[in-house]
Structure 1
Amino acid sequence: MAHKIFIDGEAGTTGLQIRQRLADRRDLEVVSIDPARRKDADARAELLNSVDVAILCLPDEGAREAVAMIVNPDVRVIDPSTAHRTAAGWTFGFPELSPGHRVTIAASKRVTNPGCWSTGFIALVAPLVRAGLIPAEAALSVHGVSGYSGGGKGLIAEFEDAPAPAPSADAFRPYGLTLAHKHLPEMVAYTGLSHPPIFSPAVGRYAQGMIVEVPLALWALPGQPKVSDLTAALSEAYAGEVFVTVATDLEVAGLSQARAGAAGYVRALDPEALNGANSLKLYVFGDDAKGQARLVAVLDNLGKGASGAAVQNLNLMLGLDEGAGLTVA
């Protein structure tokens, strides 16, 4: 018998991509609300309480409202919004977070998806904090660029539909300038850091995909770790993982040498490289002589950063093949 799934907010960017990933599944039945009753709270509550798993692709307040409607103790919830990322009683939905964490997800009734930016940051930093290579008190920064789809329907419309001339003509747009980005609490909570990093996100004039980067002054860290120490710690943390991989020394060396001109542009580090996949690729670049390193994560902000992660968590919670409906780049 197929497991019944309700995507509350299936018309949104993340909801549409989750539905696409579930479209050919014979082990799942995706149910939808009658369009004529879309704004009927009773109809919504009825569906939320009749399924095996509810996936809440909603703004934060809508997600909290939906959770409050669920009175059936057997209904399990996956929330891709920010509403419950660090809330008590919720499990953080990054299966590769630590050894045994996917078992915790599988047993949970309430799972909160990571954000796309925090997926890259936590994947890079958490293992290095656990290994003692980055101290909890470290002053870190993180920056990068994401496709505009991460901003939801409003930003997508601005870039794709707004008449010219418009702000959507921007090639590159920094944001989060108040230093209060909504992903910061989870970046601290799930890395073991004592302080939030200085976060400098931006969107570029392309739809989907992202690069997240954490620069490190190795000379300022206790023990002054080598670049190879960072690579080894990350490789050990993700050994045997399917969706999270660490570039080998040979790959990094090849990328470092694949330059276009004296500025050293690396063409292969493309934010769109993993689009459509649930993959997350981690790189460590550095120079031991200078005592500097650059940790880089590449992922699809709508894949491993949103809808792909939700499907991976769904599979775990239902005891199904973790990779069902997902692709690896």
Structure 2
Amino acid sequence: MSSPVVFIDGDQGTTGLQIHERLRNRTDIRLFTLPAAERKDARRRAEAINGCDIAILCLPDAAAREAVGAIVNPAVRVIDASSAYRTQADWTYGFPEMAAGQAEQIANASRVTNPGCYPTGAVGLLRPLAQAGLIPAAYPISIHAVSGYSGRGRAGVAEYEGQGAASAPSYQVYGLELAHKHAPEIEQHAGLAQRPIFVPAYGAFRQGIVLTVPLALRQLAPGVDGTTLHSCLARHYAGATHVRVLPLQESRALTHLDPQALNGTNDMDLSVFHNVESGHVLLSAVFDNLGKGASGAAVQNLELMLTRR
């Protein structure tokens, strides 16, 4: 049996470049990209996507929809890294650790939508707790996250690494209209009953994310405390290769969270911090926005899909 052909469409962007870097030395697949002169040739792109076994799309939403629309070969399978299909019921959500059986669904899917970077942390923290009934459906969830500037794609890299880098802001909160495109994705896949308040920000570092969710124990189910929440997360991710729940003792020893701590990996660390006197809990996720939040997740999904030949 010949090695499967994997076509990366959009390999010149931040996510595509890292996917290519992670796959370029593989000998079990035939990696294919279009030369620069053919990237905007609709006919050539259609030929490429219909001639591969698995296509990884690293494109803006509209271009991703166009690429999927050009597929006429029913054998072609797709991993889409855009946000075009993340809330579509006929696409499999590409977060293997999200739920029991999710990895198997991804392995057998023909259409996989990669999670957004921020939703990876938010869903990773909230879904197990919501499913266990530890967070009431009516709880007003608020989420704050700080990402490296590569989260903006090439525009972010240009602003911070180009000629005007000296004047680039050290920190900027955005999404002030409270309508960020990741909010519906978080609501759906975390199993929330209402839209969370989501406030994202960029820092003056290339990649990495710290995402936090504050909770007030008095608004949670009776008897729930930080230990209960931690135990639920620890059970859910027991045995997971790429998601780790820090032991409570290890979390207590932390004095800060470094968004760059897991850069270059496909891992995510989850923590629970709690103050018994105030009745406050802080959930946190640390991971690489270009790793578990993008390219690493795409390669993890590809690995699963390659098991079905």
Structure 1 length normalisation: TM-score? 0.91
- The residue identity in structure 2 corresponding to 1:65 is E
Match of 2:297?
309
Match of 2:28?
27
Deviation at 1:159, TM superposition (A): 1.4
Match of 1:131?
132
Deviation at 1:163, TM superposition (A): 2.5
Match of 2:104?
103
1:190 alignment partner, SS class: helix
- The residue identity in structure 1 corresponding to 2:296 is G
Match of 2:152?
151
Unpaired segments of 5 or more residues in structure 2?
A: none
8 Å contact kept, 1:7–1:57:
yes
Residues 248-286 of structure 1: CA deviation (Å, up to 9, x unaligned): 02211222xxxxxxxxxx24x210000000000000000
1:305 alignment partner, SS class: helix
Deviation at 1:164, TM superposition (A): 6.2
2:253 alignment partner, SS class: helix
- The residue identity in structure 2 corresponding to 1:83 is A
Unpaired segments of 5 or more residues in structure 1?
A: 256-265, 321-329
- The residue identity in structure 1 corresponding to 2:298 is A
- The residue identity in structure 2 corresponding to 1:3 is P
Structure 2 length normalisation: TM-score? 0.97
More moved, 1-10 vs 35-44: 35-44
Match of 1:244?
243
Do the aligned partners of residues 164 and 36 (structure 1) sit closer, same or farther apart at CA in structure 2, a change above 3 Å counting? closer
8 Å contact kept, 2:120–2:293:
yes
Deviation at 1:179, TM superposition (A): 0.6
Task: Quote the RMSD (CA, aligned, Å).
Answer: 1.2
Deviation at 1:288, TM superposition (A): 2.4
Residues 136-156 of structure 1: CA deviation (Å, up to 9, x unaligned): 221110002110000011121
- The residue identity in structure 1 corresponding to 2:207 is Q
Match of 2:271?
283
After TM superposition, which residue ranges in structure 1, 4 or more long, deviate above 4 angstroms? none
Deviation at 1:34, TM superposition (A): 3.4
Match of 1:184?
183
Do the aligned partners of residues 2 and 164 (structure 1) sit closer, same or farther apart at CA in structure 2, a change above 3 Å counting? closer
Deviation at 1:38, TM superposition (A): 2.3
Match of 1:65?
66
More moved, 93-102 vs 221-230: 221-230
Cα distance in structure 1, aligned partners of 2:28 and 2:279: 51
1:285 alignment partner, SS class: strand
Match of 2:260?
272
More moved, 35-44 vs 156-165: 156-165
8 Å contact kept, 2:159–2:165:
no
Cα distance in structure 2, aligned partners of 1:106 and 1:165: 45
1:1-329 alignment runs, 5 A limit: 1-163=2-164, 166=167, 168=168, 170-255=169-254, 266-267=255-256, 269-319=257-307
Residues 57-116 of structure 1: CA deviation (Å, up to 9, x unaligned): 000000000000011000000001000001131000000010111111111100000011
Residues 20-41 of structure 1: CA deviation (Å, up to 9, x unaligned): 1101211111112233322211
8 Å contact kept, 2:173–2:200:
yes
Deviation at 1:224, TM superposition (A): 4.3
Deviation at 1:222, TM superposition (A): 2.3
